[in-house]
């Protein structure tokens, strides 16, 4: 009787392991994939919001001419642009 039990034990064990691996793969893939998709969507939404906020800051800075600290463009220039201007046209 021992030989007959041993003949069914190994094939049964192999079938049980194969079924367990298949069920684990199916369950892990379905739950892991769903959670990964949710996490990916949330990360992409957060990244999109950050990109949008950064773009709004850049657009506001570019559109606001009064945010510039130096108003006079000739402030740092050593040359006087009005030095050689011909004031009297009759000379």
Query: Higher model confidence: residue 54 or residue 74?
Result: 54
List all residues 6 or more positions away from 61 whose beta carbon is below 8 Å from its beta carbon: 67
Q: What are phi and psi of 84, to 5 degrees?
A: -105, 30
Round to the nearest angstrom and report the end-to-end CA distance of the chain: 132
Quickly state the pLDDT bin for 50 (edges 50, 70, 90): very high
What pTM, to 2 d.p., does this model score?
0.41
Q: Could you tell me the two tokens for 75?
A: 């402030």
Top mean pLDDT of 6-15, 45-54, 57-66 is at 45-54
Q: Residue 71's Cα: distance from chain center in Å?
A: 37
Residue boundaries of the structural domains of the chain: 27-60
């Amino acid at each position: 009787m021992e030989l007959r039990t041993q003949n069914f034990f190994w094939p049964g064990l192999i079938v049980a392991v194969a079924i367990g691996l298949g069920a684990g793969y199916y369950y892990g893939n379905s739950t892991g994939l769903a959670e990964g998709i949710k996490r990916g969507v949330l990360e992409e939404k957060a990244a999109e919001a950050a990109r949008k906020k950064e773009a709004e800051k850049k657009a506001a800075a570019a559109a606001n001419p009064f945010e510039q600290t130096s108003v006079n463009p000739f402030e740092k220039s050593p040359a006087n642009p009005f030095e050689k201007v011909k004031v009297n046209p009759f000379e």
